[in-house]
Amino acid sequence: MEENKVMTEEMEIGAKIIGNAIIEAAKICNQITEIGGENSKELVNLVLGRCEVLKAEILAICCCEANYNQKLDMMQTEKNAAYDYFNSILAQIS
């Protein structure tokens, strides 16, 4: 018997944040590899690692007991932290 699995609005918002972060991480990784350099592999790993952390945090927030607005605020905070990290990596290659 197949269950109908419906995503909550929080899950849809979280999925969108994760999807956009993955796209942004891919763009940054492409920039890093185009520039090259001795530490490019480490920088790519840092970007990918931070993306994985964001995904885990967003999923944890979606499943937590907070109310809707609290979840949105927590997801936005995590997103901002990830993008700040991405920007710090970009600053290192500029």
SS3 38: coil
pLDDT digits over 46-68, tens only? 999 999 999 999 999 999 999 99
Ordered by start, the domain boundaries in the chain are: 39-94
pLDDT digits over 7-55, tens only? 899 999 999 999 999 999 999 999 999 998 889 999 999 999 999 999 9
Name the pTM for this structure. Answer: 0.87
Helical residues (DSSP H) of 1-94, grouped into ranges? 9-35, 40-63, 68-93
